Structure 1
């Protein structure tokens, strides 16, 4: 296989040189303009969301029902979430000097699952892959409990929750790799105020999926020598009329979440055509131009763009395993415009607008 790939790459390079001799290389080359002509392209629906943990405490998750119905009607075949994978967290734990804070903030403690299963993240991840490769069409409850325990050991708590939700209530108990502590964790995750669980895991179970796909990336995280000055510079950049308008809009939307229609209206606003431009003017565009001699804003934007590029590559990789599928990406609203722009450069990816799905009644 390696020889075949090497031969293809050599042929591509040679072909490129021939083409270059025949015609000048265009500075406007856009790979995304060359889309799949035969068969069904991969479809990507990027749903920008508020982080549910930051909504008012009065927010009732039951009011997500209308949004969930709309998303289910699109019939996604896979769901990607803004979470770090178990393998990336394992990688970061090997570099505590750079990533200690990132691990503390974004990575789950897999020790309880490792104790119950006897597996570390790499071993559990390998077992998950082997199980899913031979997964039956009608798995037993014991098989689902086993897979849930492996997902927990692999650092994939949202996917473990999918398996837990696919069990009937009477089958949600210890056994087959799950001890009482892991059962308690899964029960808490079912109602955790986080879109990975209240939207993605619930929707995945409803649509008959076996897992969700963590696609976030924090390998571009960095330490700043002067955190106080850095923070002050970014906050000053954010002090602009676009940020003020965005805050007023968010405050108004969050004051009207008492009904499913109000929640759907919030999602329409976060995914509206002009929302990405508003984010750019309020946040990253403003930061790019901030005047500090240390170029704090440019460093901030560089890390943000790198993160989104790596997120896009993770989404693209997940799509590659099942060509012609439908991928729903659930991500913080500020990421939506960036991910759509980056993914639209892919030759086998077609961006689907959220407009029809989120339309008003």
Structure 2
């Protein structure tokens, strides 16, 4: 009988060990070779450009900033001259859709959707019909519309569930023309007057900027179709809350809180507005947001996967928000779009937008200098 040599035995043993290790090794992540972000276009024509402005939610401020106070920010954004402005608002059409599924979306509708019923009654249009009518009016919009035409379009936008766009029309009117008529009731006029001073970045930044630039509307691109109701079991709700809050209790979150408190306290001081926006749009800001929030949640170890539920919702929401913007850019090629969104979204917006062939990102830090 012939026995294998020591060399052959060593080779066989090494092969067996290699096969064992390969079979039990963690799977390698597949990396696709197709990289859309490297295939930018178009080869000719005006590019689509997007500037993502991460913002604090102005509702969190202790008082309402005036347009004069926000002027340093508005001046820089106006100098960039966007041709479209997207905001973190639910469209009237999505709110109309969510209302049809109250068992899942009742809380979302209550939180994020205004009631267009009074405006719809005033102009005789439901939400889909009002959106169609607004599109029809804008398609034939004259260069110098009458005050009555603007009042009517504002009323139609309110019926469409697009209060930000209605406010743009209101702001484009001379103060003496901001009155009832042409579809606007006294109730709707009062609503628009109140909206002008609400502590909200859509009403204090986006709409005044659009009016200043001669734009006729805003684009509502938020999405809450990934929302789900909380568990009916109090124990599960408590476990989920403990898991997420426990994940958020980390050094990166503490660093964010300290910075946010400092920037918030200085917001109403000279230079404070730009200091806050420059910090929120700095190159390293999205990584800190991830470490403090979504990365920490992804790593939380609960058996129920509460952190993974949360991150799944967050990624889905951002993907759909970016899809809404891409839809606008696809309809109107060559658009320069400013999109204003809570700072936690900024990194995701830019990462997802950058994958698009026909989207070129603009550095907010350069615009805010």
TM-score (norm 1): 0.91
Partner of 1:294: 304
- Name the counterpart of 1:33: 38
Instruction: Name the structure 1 match of 2:151.
Output: 145
For residue 18 of structure 2, what is the aligned residue in structure 1? Answer: none
Structure 2 residue matching 1:145: 3-state secondary structure: helix
Tell me the SS of whatever aligns to 1:314: helix
Equivalent residue number for residue 320 of structure 1: 330
Give deviations 1:41-74, integer Å, cap 9, x for gaps: 1000000000000012275553111000000000
The offset of 1:173, in angstroms, is 0.5
User: Of 225, 231, 237, which aligns to 1:227?
Assistant: 237
| Cα displacement (A) at 1:224 | 3.2
Q: 1:228 to 1:88 in 2, by over 3 A?
A: same
Give the match's secondary structure for 1:56: coil
Whether the 8 Å CA contact 2:116–2:161 is kept in 1: the answer is yes
In structure 1, C-alpha distance between the alignment counterparts of 2:172 and 2:284, rounded to whole Å: 38
Q: Summarize the alignment of residues 1-361 of structure 1 with structure 2, pairs less than 5 Å apart.
A: 27-36=32-41, 37-57=43-63, 59-225=65-231, 226-259=236-269, 261-359=271-369
**Which 4+ runs in 1 deviate beyond 4 A?**
58-61
User: 1:75-126: per-residue Cα shift (whole Å, max 9, x none)?
Assistant: 0000000000000000000000000000000001111112211211011111
Deviations 1:240-283 (A, max 9, x none): 00000000000000111123511110000000000000000000
Alpha-carbon contact 1:63-1:259 (below 8 Å) kept? no
Q: Offset of 1:26 from its aligned partner?
A: 8.0
Are the aligned partners of 1:165 and 1:205 in contact in 2 as well (CA < 8 Å)?
yes
* CA distance, structure 1, for counterparts of residue 360 and residue 311 of structure 2: 26
SS in 2 for 1:62: coil
> Contact (CA 8 Å) 1:67, 1:260: kept in 2 or not?
no
Which structure: larger Rg?
A: 2
Matched residue of 1:291: which SS?
coil
Q: Give the Cα–Cα distance (whole angstroms) in 2 for the partners of residues 159 and 178 of structure 1.
A: 15
SS in 2 for 1:152: helix
Distance in 2 between the 1:34 and 1:189 partners?
Answer: 43
Aligned partners of 2:64 and 2:199 also within 8 Å: no
Which structure 1 segments of 5+ residues have no match? 1-24
Question: Alignment RMSD, CA only?
Answer: 1.3
Cα distance in 2 for residues equivalent to 1:161 and 1:27? 45
Query: Equivalent residue of 1:83, what SS?
Result: strand
Aligned equivalents of 1:227 and 1:345: distance in 2? 36
Instruction: Give the whole-Å Cα distance in 2 for the aligned partners of 1:162 and 1:57.
Output: 23
Q: Give the 3 Å change call, closer, same or farther, for CA 278–122 of structure 1 in structure 2.
A: same
User: Which whole-Å CA distance do the structure 1 matches of 2:318 and 2:343 have between them?
Assistant: 12
Residue 334 to residue 81, structure 1, CA distance change in 2 (3 Å): same
Unpaired runs of at least 5, structure 2: 1-29
Aligned length: 335
Q: Aligned partners of 2:270, 2:368: CA distance in 1, in Å?
A: 12
Secondary structure (helix, strand or coil) at the match of 1:193 reads coil
8 Å Cα contact 1:60/1:258 also seen in 2: no
Paired position in structure 2 for 1:7: none
Q: Does the 8 Å CA contact 1:128/1:151 hold for their aligned counterparts?
A: yes
CA distance in 1, matches of 2:175, 2:360: 38
With over 3 angstroms needed to count, the CA separation of the structure-2 counterparts of 1:107 and 1:333, relative to structure 1, is: same
